[in-house]
Amino acid sequence: MTRANIALLILIGCVAALPLFGGAYALRLGTIACMYAILALSWNVVGGFAGYPSFATAAFFGFGAYATGVLMNDGLSLWLSVVMAAVAALLLAAMLGAVLLRLRGHYFAIASLSLAEVLRELVNNATDLTGGGMGLNIPLVSGSSVLGDAMFFFYAMLGLLLATALMAMAVAGSKLGFGLACIRQNETASSMVGLNTTLYKSVAFGLSACFVAAAGGIYAAWVHYIDPSDVFDILYSVKPIVMALMGGLGSPLGVACGAFLYLGLEEVVWRNYIQIHTGVLGLLIVMLLLFLPHGLVSLRAGMFGRKTKHV
Amino acid sequence: MHAAQILINALVLGCLYACIAIGFSLVWGVLNVINLIHGSFIVLGAYLAFGLYYSLHLSPWYAVVVAAPLFFVLGYLLQRLLLNRVIHAPVLVTLTLTFGLDLILNNAMIYFFKADYRKLTLAPPLGSVSVLDVVVPVDRLIATLAALALTGLLYLLLRRSRVGRAIVAVRLDRDAAVLMGVNVEQIYAIAFGIGAALAGCAGVLMALIFPISPLTSSGYLGKAFVVCVLGGLGSVSGALAGGLLLALVEGVGSTLFGPSHATTLSFVLLIVFLILRPQGLLGRKGFE
């Protein structure tokens, strides 16, 4: 286990101690922080390790949210629904990935971007199953106090974050991670030396989708009401990319730090400039790309004994 | 007669789609940048037409003439000052940068113009013409002709003028163009400026037909994506073919399955095309 991975686990441990210090607001922030970190770490498997510019995060987030919501309305328990949604997303993404991941560069970006649009329109039109544009109400889970409920979802999201972080570390240290790094550097060459690139990319895409869908499921149960324009919001695809760019592409620790930092900035901007907060977010993105293209990790590359990976 | 009406509607809408997409296609083809700010440029153009009509009583036909140079300068400066700095960076970076710029522009429009839907209504309405039961509103007809004229103008510019030839040369082979003495950075900025000018003009024409709101920009952008992929990148004829095909599929699809499924259909078509024929209808293989 590398020092960066240990640092990441310690970071997650620090987040776990959050309820000791704050009330409901801190819990809410902590839950969102965990969710953002899950999205960013999952995206990093495809976007950072394999270097594929995926904009499909929103698609699988919404898919997971709706799958969980529909299953829970059928009377299934939260855990069973989330697990089923995650497995369904894994299979869906692996199948779609086998087709979509043959595209490269801009074409892959556009195809993954339109995946969210297609799913949103399908959900919008399947009024019988999903409630369409009216949205979907999701039954309450615990029925205990408000604070107890908040605590429950915070730890659910934190547990999922831990699982995601372990997945990202396992992938980074395994043959799969090595194969993905080869694909990022030169896909044609890695395919020539006998790497099954389509299989590797599909597995990575599926893994990434699986955890995003689970996060979507917990989110849906947490907020009790979802509608297509909320959970298929294109910002769910873009935010993880900004977080990863902020922290440093490819390094799980960097990406997780990027997610927490991003949430902090977002919260400050949102609270102070409600009317122009998306504009400030845009400005932040532009500044980041122009002045710090390799993320925060590049500022102290030597500190973690590992150089930032470039796309 | 029903079929003829669908066909005419598709033809009119297809030319407008081509006009929306052509600037986007030019920028993607020449600079290899997916310009996510395109949709907001179109909406900004629509607001320009709206403002000129209600404050100066300037008809949208003249607003096109005002919009083109303004947007050209805007696009030129944007490319020169910002995009040019990351032009050789990977897809992810340029795409995310234009996304950030789009957030800024869109938020600024919501802030200054509010998110309310507005409509530019010409003082004496133009009415509609009908030939053998096929009805076409005159404002749509004129916008279509103007869109065709703009498309033709770009075609002439690319074929006949010195700058146009240089743009095509950079598109075909950037390195060879450098060796032939083309100032590539200048050409990039000019191509981006032309793309922005076309978006602004398209916006002026859209103001005649569709309601105006900053929220409509992603819809325009989505159409531009689909048209580009369907028709093939960077060519004028490709954008026209893609626009017509998209309008036809949407028209026939919404007649058969109901209008709510038209968007789904167009994006499914996009993904099918990306997989089976990524070079588009008129593109050549290996041209990227």
Give yes or no for B264 touching A (CB within 8 A). Answer: yes
HEC assignment per residue over B11-75: HHHHHHHHHHHHHHHHHHHHHCCCCCCHHHHHHHHHHHHHHHHHHHCCCHHHHHHHHHHHHHHHH
* Residue A67: other Cβ atoms inside 10 A: 24
Give yes or no for B183 touching A (CB within 8 A). Answer: no
Residue A99 to residue B95, Cβ atoms within 8 A: no
Residues of A with CB below 8 A from B95's CB?
53, 106, 109
Considering CB atoms only, which of A107, A121, A275 is closest to B278?
A107
How does residue A142 score in pLDDT terms, banded at 50, 70 and 90?
Answer: low
d(CA A89, CA A59): 10
Q: Which residues contact A182 (CB under 8 A, 6 or more apart)?
A: A189, A190, A195
d(CA B262, CA B278): 22
Residues of B with CB below 8 A from A283's CB?
100, 104
Query: Which residues are B131's β-sheet partners?
Result: B134
Residues of A with CB below 8 A from B96's CB?
238, 241-242, 245, 285, 289
Give yes or no for A278 touching B (CB within 8 A). Answer: yes
Q: Which residues contact B140 (CB under 8 A, 6 or more apart)?
A: B12, B16, B208, B209
Residue A286 to residue B111, Cβ atoms within 8 A: no
d(CA B184, CA B79): 12
d(CA B177, CA B222): 32
Give yes or no for B188 touching A (CB within 8 A). Answer: no
Domain assignment present for residue B286? The answer is no
Residues of A with CB below 8 A from B100's CB?
281-286, 289
d(CA B208, CA A180): 50
Candidates B28, B37, B83, B91: best to mutate against A (most CBs of A within 10 A) is B91
Residues of A with CB below 8 A from B28's CB?
106
- The stretches in chain B having pLDDT less than 50 are 285-288
**pLDDT tens figures, A17-72:** 877 777 788 888 889 999 999 999 999 999 888 888 888 999 999 999 999 999 99
Domain assignment present for residue B288? The answer is no
Picking from B60, B187, A88, the residue whose alpha carbon sits closest to that of residue A80 is A88
Domain assignment present for residue A10? The answer is yes
d(CA A45, CA A244): 11
Picking from A104, A219, A116, the residue whose alpha carbon sits closest to that of residue B263 is A116
pLDDT at B197: 93
pLDDT at A307: 46
Residue type, B191: A
Q: How many domains does chain A have?
A: 1
Mean pLDDT score, A219-244: 88
Give yes or no for A238 touching B (CB within 8 A). Answer: yes
Give yes or no for B129 touching A (CB within 8 A). Answer: no
| Structural tokens at position A284 | 């932040």
d(CA B160, CA B170): 16
Domain assignment present for residue B155? The answer is yes
Give yes or no for A279 touching B (CB within 8 A). Answer: yes
Query: Which residues are A137's β-sheet partners?
Result: A225
Residue type, A122: L
Query: Number of Cβ pairs closer than 8 Å across A and B?
Result: 122
Considering CB atoms only, which of B90, B107, B268 is closest to A279?
B107
pLDDT at A297: 64
d(CA A262, CA A37): 10
Largest CA distance in chain A: 59
d(CA B266, CA B249): 7
**Domain span holding position B58:** 2-276
Q: Between residues B175 and A308, which one has the greater pLDDT?
A: B175
Residues of B with CB below 8 A from A121's CB?
261, 263-264, 267
Looking at residue B246, the DSSP 8-state letter turns out to be H
**pLDDT tens figures, A147-193:** 788 888 888 999 999 999 999 989 988 999 999 989 888 888 988 88
Looking at residue B173, the DSSP 8-state letter turns out to be -
Q: How many domains does chain B have?
A: 1
d(CA A242, CA A245): 5
Picking from A56, A46, A63, A62, the residue whose alpha carbon sits closest to that of residue A114 is A56
Give yes or no for A286 touching B (CB within 8 A). Answer: yes
Residue of B nearest to A53 (CA): B92
Considering CB atoms only, which of A105, A275, A285 is closest to B91?
A105
**Domain span holding position A26:** 3-233
Domain assignment present for residue A145? The answer is yes
Considering CB atoms only, which of B95, B105, B107 is closest to A109?
B95
Considering CB atoms only, which of A113, A122, A278 is closest to B107?
A278
Sheet strands (E) in B99-205: 128-131, 134-137
| CATH number of the domain bearing residue B47 | 1.10.3470
Beta carbons of B214 and B265 less than 8 angstroms apart: no
Give yes or no for B220 touching A (CB within 8 A). Answer: no
pLDDT at B11: 87
Residue of A nearest to B259 (CA): A125
* Predicted TM-score of the model (pTM): 0.84
Residue A281 to residue B103, Cβ atoms within 8 A: yes
Candidates A110, A265, A308: best to mutate against B (most CBs of B within 10 A) is A110
Looking at residue B141, the DSSP 8-state letter turns out to be H
CA A118 to chain centre: 19
Domain assignment present for residue A106? The answer is yes
Picking from B179, B236, B211, B178, the residue whose alpha carbon sits closest to that of residue B24 is B236
Give yes or no for B101 touching A (CB within 8 A). Answer: yes
Residues of B with CB below 8 A from A234's CB?
218
Looking at residue B86, the DSSP 8-state letter turns out to be G
HEC assignment per residue over chain A: CCHHHHHHHHHHHHHHCHHHCCCHHHHHHHHHHHHHHHHHHHHHHHHHHCCCCCCCHHHHHHHHHHHHHHHHHCCCCHHHHHHHHHHHHHHHHHHHHHHHCCCCHHHHHHHHHHHHHHHHHHHHHCHHHHCHHHCEECCCCCCCCHHHHHHHHHHHHHHHHHHHHHHHHHHHHCHHHHHHHHHHHCHHHHHHCCCCHHHHHHHHHHHHHHHHHHHHHHHHHHHCEECHHHHCCCHHHHHHHHHHHHHCCCCHHHHHHHHHHHHHHHHHHHHHCHHHHHHHHHHHHHHHHHHCCCCHHHHHHHHHCCCCCCC
Looking at residue B278, the DSSP 8-state letter turns out to be T
Domain assignment present for residue A274? The answer is no
Domain assignment present for residue A283? The answer is no
Residue B274 to residue A110, Cβ atoms within 8 A: yes
Beta carbons of B208 and B120 less than 8 angstroms apart: yes
Residue of B nearest to A51 (CA): B92
Residue B261 to residue A121, Cβ atoms within 8 A: yes
How does residue A300 score in pLDDT terms, banded at 50, 70 and 90?
Answer: low
Residue B92 to residue A47, Cβ atoms within 8 A: yes
Beta carbons of A262 and A285 less than 8 angstroms apart: no
Candidates B271, B275, B288: best to mutate against A (most CBs of A within 10 A) is B271
Residue A117 to residue B263, Cβ atoms within 8 A: yes
Q: Which residues contact A208 (CB under 8 A, 6 or more apart)?
A: A42, A43, A45, A46, A54, A60, A93
Average pLDDT in chain A: 85
Residue B99 to residue A276, Cβ atoms within 8 A: no
How far is A123 from chain B, CA to nearest CA, in Å?
10
